[in-house]
Structures are given as structure tokens and as C-alpha cells.
């Protein structure tokens, strides 16, 4: 019996939907004969067979979602092709030598009968020539190498083992880890050695989730001073130092942002909003808002603008669930606002910001900010955010790249507004205008660049023309 598993389909393609099964039980199957028609997010393709024989059990049907490496059908009385037969022979030879070379007490692996699963048979058929043991490659009369030791050096890549230099010829390279091209690219982007990742699949195959989990363990270990962190030098060799404890807020911020930066593919887009007219309105109504218990700041106005934008662009009010292959769209709008405190950065959350007017938002923002600075804010008041705003304009600067506050998918950074000469098309002259720099960072897994600039442009236009909030918000 032989299993035909779904092969690699191409870059960034790890699964697809079955449209048609092109064979049935009892059919004679030839190598490279189309087996099923598959629809991926890239195109509709016909998947050819890598085995030959008589079709036995078909394990998928139209409408099923199948992943790379999943068994599609079984074949009896056939062959898996020259490469598969060679790898299978090498594997059998290695197993036989292992039984002869290893005493019973040293065997840690289960008997061959238990270990020879269909997934491993598939792995053996697809294995490159490098997976042959040294004994298989040795010339007649050459000194035999213990099969168990050689197999651990060459074959056991699922645990990150590397090929020993002395066991490789100059032309050979380390066998590739069992992972799709998209998984390898994710590992490169996260700075993870794919050979150090353990695959969760029974066959040892590495998934994107395995890479992310490995990266998270490295980040967590580094943040906690674990073995994953690179040892620090003795700084006292070059002068006087002082060590301060990493307090709870700073430690949690470090761990959370490090994990977010490692797992979220960030993109930051920048733009400027002409708030000359808005500044006049803000100063005009500042006293009225102050009487209601708030401060009519640019941040308070930005909360209202962003809350309206999130209703028009729901993909920014979402989270991504990679384990379930789903995007979670939230029907509520809760905007978090970063507050600088003596303990570190805290992010109080204004709930249902889209249902409140600017006066209410200004008052609530003032109250939450004061509670954060006086250490009276509760954990509940800092949870449940769907989007964040960070305003550094009170300190200075032009642009910056805020880190997405995962599991949110976007954050808006606000820098200091400044008066600059702007060319006016109507008059053909330069005029002084108050320009506000904005920086939007977002999770590229959920949001494309075109959507990012549309969102940011709408925010700019709403700040420039407040009537737009009533018209579209």
C-alpha cells in the first residue's frame, strides 16, 4: 500500500478546496496523472499523482479543505517512482542496520512496525538523496558506520539536528527541514532558524503556527532573562553602573511589545492633515468643554474621528485568529489611548467611542488619564480595546512608527502640529497652515496597503473638514 499526499503547491500556498476528484476506487493510476482539481487563493489547479497502482480508498471529497501533506488517497499494487523506491530502500536498510548495531537497551525509538506510519512512508518517498545513511553510500569493503549514530546526525531534522561535517561530502548540504516555502519565509522574517523548530504534525512537518510558537518562546525567554537571551558583557569593566529592577508595568510592556513586534508583520504609512480650521474651532469651544469636565485636545477629537472611521473600515476593528484561520470582526468600537505615566506606558480604553460626542469623549479621556497617572485605574479599564491612539505631540517630533497593540490590528500615531507654508492653488501663493503629522501602523496579514492609505486619508479629511463626521461618520 502507498499513500498519495497533497504535495507542495507553490509559494505561499499551504491548502486549497477540493473542486473535483478525478479518479475513483479501482481505477488504474499512473504517475503524473491528474488526481483532483483544487482551488487555492491563487488559482485553480490540477494536482498530479506521484504514485502509481490501483486506487484504493479516497479520503477527500468535493468541498473539503485539504492541507499540504494531507493524505488524499491510497494506492495498492503500485510503485511510488524511482526516487521513492530509492529512499524507501535506504530507509529499510538503515532500519535493518539499526537493529544490528544498537543493543536493545539503547533503542529509544519504537519498533519499526509502530514507526512506519503512512506519513513517514510519504516522507521517505519525498526525501532527497542526502537522507541516505553513510552505510548506504559506503563502497564495498569500507568500514561500516553505526547506523543509529549516523541516522541521528543526518535524518532526525524534526528536532533540529544538523548533519555532522565529517558525514557530508563537500558537495552536500544539510537536508532541508520539512516545511513549505511560505513557512520558511515566515521563519526568515522572524529571524528563526527553521532547523531548530519542532513540527507539531505527527510526521514532523513544520507549520506557520509552529514557527510563531517557537519565536514566542524565544522572545519570552529573552524578556525573562532565559537561556534564549544573549549573555550580556560585564559593563562594569568600562565604568560605574547602576542596576534598577524591571518593574511590573515595564516588564509587561516589554514582553507584550516584543511579542507583537515578532509576530505581527508591521507596515507604517504617514500623512499630514491640515488642521488650521480645526484649531480655530478647538480654541473657540475649549471653555465649553472644560466646563463639562474635559479638555478639548487634539487627542479627544482624534478619538471621535477614529471611532467613526472604524465603522466605515471594519477590517481595522478586527483581530486575526491564525489557529482557526479566521478574522474576528468586532461589532463594538473601543478606542485605547496611550498615557505616559511615571510607571510606564498605560493604555486606558474608552468603550463604545462611536456612540459618544466629542464633549463626552473629552471628559472621559481626562478622567481615565488622571486615574492612570495617580495609579487608580483598574485592569478592566485597560482591557477590551479594538484600536489604539498614541499622541506624542505634546513632547515633540515629526513622525514615528508605533507598534501595533496586538491582538488589535492597527494603531494611529500623532506627532506635534506645526505651522508651515503651503502652496494654495486658488490664489497661487503660499499661506501659513497648521499641519498635523500622522503615522498609521497596521497588521499586514489583515490590512493591505491600499486600505491603509484609504483609512488614513479619511482620517485626515475628517480632521480638515469636521462636517465629514456628520456626513459619513
Each domain of the chain, given as residue ranges in start order, spans: 2-150, 181-223, 262-471
Q: How many CB atoms lie within 10 A of CB 168?
A: 17
- According to DSSP, the β-strands at 339-341 and 344-346 are antiparallel
What's the pLDDT at 174? 54
- The answer to whether residue 256 is catalytic is no
The pTM of the full predicted model, rounded to 2 decimals, is: 0.56
Q: pLDDT exceeding 90 applies to what percent of the chain?
A: 44
Fold classification of 181-223 is Dihydrolipoamide Transferase (4.10.320)
At 106, the pLDDT band (50, 70, 90 cuts) reads very low
Give every CB contact of residue 397 below 8 A, 6+ residues apart in sequence. Answer: 415, 416
How far is the C-alpha of 264 from the C-alpha of 258, rounded, in Å? 10
pLDDT of 130 > 70? The answer is no
* Average of per-residue pLDDT values in the chain: 79
When pLDDT is cut at 50, 70 and 90, the band that residue 166 belongs to is very low
> Tell me, what's the pLDDT at 92?
42
Report pLDDT for 187: 86
| pLDDT for residue 115 | 43
pLDDT at 226: 42
More confident: 301 or 31: 301
Catalytic residue among 256, 266, 352, 444: 444
Topology, domain 2-150: OB fold (Dihydrolipoamide Acetyltransferase, E2P) (2.40.50)
Looking at CATH, the fold of the domain delimited by 262-471 is given as Chloramphenicol Acetyltransferase (3.30.559)
Predicted local confidence at residue 172, as pLDDT: 44
303: pLDDT strictly greater than 90: yes
Query: 403-440, pLDDT tens digit by residue?
Result: 999 999 999 999 999 999 999 988 899 999 999 999 99
Q: How far is CA 69 from the centre of its chain?
A: 21
Q: Which of 61, 72, 76 is CA-nearest to residue 9? A: 72
Query: Which of 125-129, 152-156, 182-186, 215-219 is predicted least confidently?
Result: 152-156
Note the pLDDT of residue 357: 93
Q: DSSP string spanning 100-120?
A: HHS-GGG--SPPHHHH--HHH
How far from the centroid of its chain's Cα atoms is residue 375's Cα?
34
Could you tell me the pLDDT band of residue 221, with boundaries at 50, 70 and 90? Answer: low
Looking at per-residue confidence, does 38 or 138 come out higher? 38
Amino acid at each position: 500500500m502507498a499513500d498519495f499526499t497533497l504535495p507542495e503547491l507553490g509559494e505561499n500556498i499551504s491548502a486549497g478546496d477540493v473542486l473535483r476528484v478525478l479518479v475513483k476506487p479501482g481505477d488504474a493510476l499512473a504517475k503524473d496523472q491528474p488526481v483532483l482539481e483544487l482551488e487555492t487563493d491563487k488559482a485553480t489547479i490540477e494536482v498530479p499523482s506521484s504514485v502509481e497502482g490501483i486506487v484504493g480508498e479516497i479520503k477527500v471529497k468535493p468541498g473539503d479543505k485539504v492541507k499540504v501533506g494531507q493524505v488524499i488517497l491510497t494506492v495498492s499494487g503500485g510503485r511510488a517512482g524511482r526516487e521513492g523506491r530509492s529512499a524507501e530502500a535506504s530507509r529499510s536498510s538503515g532500519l535493518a542496520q539499526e537493529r544490528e548495531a544498537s543493543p536493545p537497551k539503547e533503542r529509544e525509538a519504537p519498533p519499526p512496525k509502530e514507526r512506519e506510519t503512512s506519513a513517514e512512508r510519504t516522507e521517505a518517498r519525498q526525501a532527497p538523496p542526502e537522507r541516505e545513511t553513510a552505510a548506504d553510500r559506503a563502497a564495498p569493503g569500507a568500514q561500516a558506520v553505526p547506523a543509529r549514530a549516523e541516522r541521528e546526525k543526518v535524518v532526525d531534522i524534526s528536532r533540529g539536528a544538523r548533519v555532522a561535517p565529517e558525514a557530508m561530502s563537500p558537495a552536500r548540504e544539510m537536508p532541508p527541514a520539512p516545511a513549505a516555502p511560505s513557512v520558511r519565509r515566515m521563519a526568515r522574517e522572524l529571524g528563526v532558524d527553521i532547523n531548530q523548530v519542532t513540527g507539531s504534525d505527527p510526521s514532523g512537518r513544520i507549520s506557520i503556527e509552529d514557527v510563531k510558537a517557537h519565536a514566542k518562546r524565544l522572545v519570552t525567554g529573552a524578556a525573562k532573562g532565559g537561556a534564549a537571551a544573549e549573555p550580556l558583557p560585564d559593563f562594569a569593566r568600562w565604568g560605574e553602573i547602576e542596576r534598577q529592577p524591571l518593574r511590573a508595568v515595564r516588564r509587561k510592556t516589554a514582553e507584550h511589545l516584543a511579542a507583537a513586534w515578532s509576530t505581527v508583520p508591521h507596515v507604517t504609512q504617514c500623512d499630514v492633515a491640515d488642521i488650521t480650521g480645526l484649531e480655530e474651532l478647538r480654541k473657540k469651544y475649549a471653555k465649553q468643554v472644560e466646563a463639562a469636565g474635559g479638555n478639548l485636545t487634539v487627542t479627544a477629537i482624534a478619538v471621535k474621528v477614529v471611532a467613526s472611521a472604524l465603522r466605515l473600515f471594519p477590517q481595522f476593528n478586527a483581530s486575526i485568529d491564525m489557529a482557526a484561520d479566521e478574522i474576528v470582526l468586532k461589532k463594538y468600537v473601543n478606542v485605547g489611548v496611550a498615557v505616559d505615566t511615571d510607571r510606564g506606558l498605560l493604555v486606558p480604553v474608552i468603550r463604545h467611542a462611536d456612540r459618544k460626542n466629542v464633549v463626552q469623549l473629552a471628559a472621559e479621556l481626562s478622567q481615565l488619564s488622571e486615574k492612570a497617572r495617580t495609579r487608580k485605574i483598574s485592569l478592566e479599564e485597560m482591557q477590551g480595546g479594538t484600536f489604539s491612539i498614541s499622541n506624542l505631540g505634546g513632547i515633540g517630533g515629526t513622525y514615528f512608527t508605533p507598534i501595533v497593540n496586538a491582538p488589535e490590528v492597527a494603531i494611529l500615531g500623532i506627532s506635534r502640529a506645526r505651522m508651515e507654508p503651503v502652496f494654495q492653488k486658488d490664489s497661487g501663493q503660499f499661506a501659513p497652515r497648521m499641519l498635523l503629522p500622522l503615522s498609521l501602523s497596521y497588521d499586514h496579514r489583515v490590512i493591505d496597503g491600499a486600505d491603509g492609505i484609504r483609512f488614513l486619508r479619511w482620517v485626515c479629511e475628517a480632521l480638515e473638514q469636521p462636517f465629514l463626521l456628520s456626513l459619513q461618520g
